[in-house]
Amino acid sequence: MINLDLQGRRALVTGGSGGLGRAIAETLAAAGAQVAVHYRKGLDEAETAVAAIQKQGGKAQAFQADVADPAAVEKLLQAVEGAFGGLDILVNNAGMDGQRASVGEDDPQAWEKILAVDLMGPYYCARAAIPRMEKAKRGVIINITSVHEFIPWEGYSAYTSAKAGLSMFT
């Protein structure tokens, strides 16, 4: 086990209200970071994650935004910066895989939405975070990809394409 000391650090975990994102948020908080738990629609889940972190003595707050919207991302970063005084760690975890469908039987708008969340979202978040991190002269960005950036997943071409793109972006 690695002994992480993140006292005084401020982290934003996109998609931090459930699953892997929640586990990441809880781990960062346990290491001492203040954690911004991002959610798009699940306020109840985000508040549950925040309460779990606080119960363990950590500091967390929920923040809502659609990461596929660059203006919403900028407002998100402003809100996190206002609440925590800055941002040191960005974990781009928010994602969606969509409905299983073969190309030609799929919905192009659904394909675009998956790319918007899984690929453009991390780009927008990184683009908003980097100037803040440069000004502070510190920061780290972690992009969560998938084994499906390398291993095809039949019926999920948008997801696999987005994760492969995110890997190259990283």
- Residue 64 CA to residue 11 CA, distance in Å, equals 15
**Is 156 in the active site?**
no
Q: Single out the catalytic residue among 39, 124, 156, 159.
A: 159
Q: Which residues contact 41 (CB under 8 A, 6 or more apart)?
A: none
Q: What is the pTM of this model?
A: 0.95
Per-residue model confidence (pLDDT) at position 1: 60
Single-letter amino acid, residue 48: T
Give per-residue pLDDT as tens, 86-137.
Answer: 999 999 999 999 999 999 999 999 999 999 999 999 999 999 999 999 999 9
pLDDT tens, position by position, 7-17: 999 999 999 99
